[in-house]
Amino acid sequence: MADSFASSLPCACKGIRFCASCLDSERVKKLNSENVNHNFDGYQTYVFNPANQRCYLTPNISTNSSVTDIQKQSDWLQQQSSDVLSNIESFQINGLLILENFLNENEEDKLVKEIEITPWVLSQSGRRKQDYGPKVNFKHKKVKCDRFIGVPEYADELLKKMNEKSNGILDSYQPFELCNLEYEPSRLSAIELHQDDMWIWGNRLISLNLLSDSVMTYENSEIKKIVFVFMQRRYLLSMFDDARYKWKHGIFSHHIINRRIALTMREPAKAFQLGGELYEKYGKELIERGNIRIPIL
């Protein structure tokens, strides 16, 4: 349950989103009465094994399972022989990549200290954010470049590591946006199951998990499958291809167990890249701004 301090904080939620501060509001009560939350009856549940990047059928795990439960199942899968795993129903999500221990402890500590220099602003679903990117009207497909003055200097070290550790998958990454999101259990922080916008953002999405273990949940309503990906702190997760375009992803509030920071990056969609129909209108300037580095003072 949220504490009294969290419930007294201002709130940025609207629509179907809510947090500890607005949980008892008339808007959220109406959402609950209309059963806005997804019903996962009939879904099969799987746990992701980072050792071989496959998802294994795990009937004893559900959307109510804890981070610890999912971690134990993930650890168990990694310890099993190929003979044992071959007897468990499994499949692979094309385009789901986990890089374990992307940062060491000292690198994480340094990065978090640099992130904390910038003030946080309220966001929806109990989160706070730092947004380095353009202002986008997704509905009307318009972009304002003015507020995008570049990305923080610490992005360069992360981009370098992505090149070195991803076997070419994340090479030549052009940040079109860098966004830091802070999650706190006392605020019921979460991110609903969703797909990132496909008009402006490109194929490879990046999420670096800092400060706390958590779980990313993937859902495919066409095949009625849910996959739980245990994310240890300092893991980097990338989703592209099928993971990006055929699956929704999100984080349930009960999978935020301590303060967590997610550093996310997005690249331009093809229409915004050189040769695309929106390159001259938006892409050229946004790419130029994405290559500017903001000093950490």
Q: Which of the four pLDDT bands, split at 50, 70 and 90, describes residue 33?
A: very low
200 domain-assigned: yes
pLDDT, the chain, mean: 91
pTM: 0.89
Is the CB of residue 128 less than 8 Å from the CB of residue 263? Answer: no
Q: Which of the four pLDDT bands, split at 50, 70 and 90, describes residue 20?
A: low
pLDDT, tens digit, for every residue of 135-165? 999 999 999 988 899 999 999 999 999 999 9
CA 267 and chain centroid, separation: 14
Q: Which CATH number goes with the domain that contains 131?
A: 2.60.120.590
pLDDT, tens digit, for every residue of 98-146? 999 999 999 999 999 999 999 999 988 889 999 999 999 999 999 998 8
190 domain-assigned: yes
* Residues 56, 66, 71: CA angle, nearest 5 degrees: 50
Which residue range(s) make up the domain with 156?
Answer: 94-294
Residue 14: its pLDDT value, please?
73
Number of domains comprising the chain: 1
180 domain-assigned: yes
pLDDT, tens digit, for every residue of 195-204? 999 999 999 9
CA 69 and chain centroid, separation: 21
Average pLDDT over residues 39-53: 93
* Residues 205, 173, 281: CA angle, nearest 5 degrees: 90
172 domain-assigned: yes
Q: Is 254 left (phi over 0), alpha (psi -120 to 50) or beta?
A: alpha
